[in-house]
Structure 1
């Protein structure tokens, strides 16, 4: 982490030390870029962002510590609007992509992107541009071309009823109230919710609610 005057200041946030080390080494060896901090979870990312005020933060979405990169992105952009977040992650599903963009990320690359692609993305994001990797960009164009400019249906793997139950639960309603609202038995609501937890691969109700709200559900 040198002191190249005029260089784009970058922070790397990833809970995998090996990837973080590799990304830091790549950026540090690139002229015009300077790594000024690293973090392994959302709380640490916020502290480093507050301390270093970087132009760009490279952010993984799956972080340790119980909070996601989407949450960290939302908070960082809220605190530091001048900082651009470039997501670099393994997650290429629609929910992750659009949740990150809604949270304020300016770029989205998949891990495995070529060094030149990472370099271009960092510079574009630092310049206030939006840059999506080829896979992500083609998916976004597909949605627009299909007349779905408003974005995809959240969690397409869920049935309509499961999504309806999740939406109401994310509004803070109890199973009993959800059952009354949908004219279902409480047992049926519990079964739907259990299916939702399995399909979203989350451990409990609170994690499902967090995922739902990140995807835009849970609004009264």
Structure 2
């Protein structure tokens, strides 16, 4: 008799949560044993429910354990045997590389058919990696594999300069004063950089900067400016 893979699904969007559960129920050998909408619910469920595979949204704000790479890192450290499939709308090869470094080898883009979620679960259950079609396109298009390569070369010198200062802790206004450019120009350059990197939120920009060596935890931009004055 085939043993079912016990799956927990986590997503803060009810429609996605329902769709994922519905897609998983169609596949034999997969049993959905629970769902969660934020990190506190998720961690409590994992502590009380036997689970083989977690299917989780990467951007799931709310809850005491955070979301994104922070949550994935926590789960890998506290539930080392748990297999993880990540759902995301983010098309960022650097983030995929960082997920791989954290032990996540299966990623599904929400823009792809829901059936890919079940296929990813089946693959991780066999200790195999799985990338949905849109994720493969991102990796192939940027010629980035899990061996890793930075893709910030597509940014202009000024865009990269703005990103470095922003992730170092400076506000748009402070960057404007520091570089002697208008606030509108700085904002435009920051937004252009995020668009080129396939990044939609500031939190994702910080994650990208951290995984690509653009963020130096030991430095503080405000202190650097103060020392120059």
* More displaced 10-residue stretch of structure 1: 93-102 or 40-49: 93-102
Aligned residues: 208
Q: Are the structure 2 counterparts of residues 97 and 192 from structure 1 closer, same or farther at C-alpha, using a change threshold of 3 Å? A: farther
Closer, same or farther in 2 for the Cα pair 1:122/1:165, shift >3 Å? Answer: same
Q: CA deviation at 1:136?
A: 2.0
Q: Which range is displaced more, 123-132 or 84-93?
A: 84-93
RMSD: 3.9
Which one of 51, 57, 65 corresponds to residue 60 of structure 1? Answer: 57
SS of 2:104's partner is: coil
Distance 1:208 1:132, change over 3 A: closer
User: SS of the residue aligned with 1:62?
Assistant: coil
Cα deviation digits, residues 57-97 of structure 1 (max 9, x gap):
11222323284433322221122222122122333343553
User: Structure 1 residue 71 and structure 2 residue 70: aligned?
Assistant: yes
Q: Hey, what does 2:107 align to over in structure 1?
A: 108
Name the CA shift for 1:18/1:185 in 2 (closer, same or farther; >3 Å).
closer
Q: TM-score, normalised by structure 1?
A: 0.71
- CA offsets per residue over residues 93-146 of structure 1, 9 Å max, x none? 43553444344322112223252x3333102112322111233224424545x8
Output aligned runs, 1:1-220, within 5 Å. 6-65=3-62, 67-111=66-110, 112-113=112-113, 115=115, 117-144=116-143, 149-154=147-152, 156=154, 158-171=155-168, 185=178, 187-188=180-181, 194-195=187-188, 198-199=191-192, 200=194, 201-202=200-201, 208-210=205-207, 212-213=209-210, 216-219=213-216
| SS at structure 1 position matched to 2:27 | coil
Query: What residue ranges of structure 1 are gaps of 5+ in the alignment?
Result: none
Q: Distance in 1 between matches of 2:153 and 2:41?
A: 29
- Offset, 1:159: 3.0
Asked if the contact 1:13/1:59 (under 8 Å) is kept, the reply is yes
Gaps of 5+ in 2: 195-199, 218-229
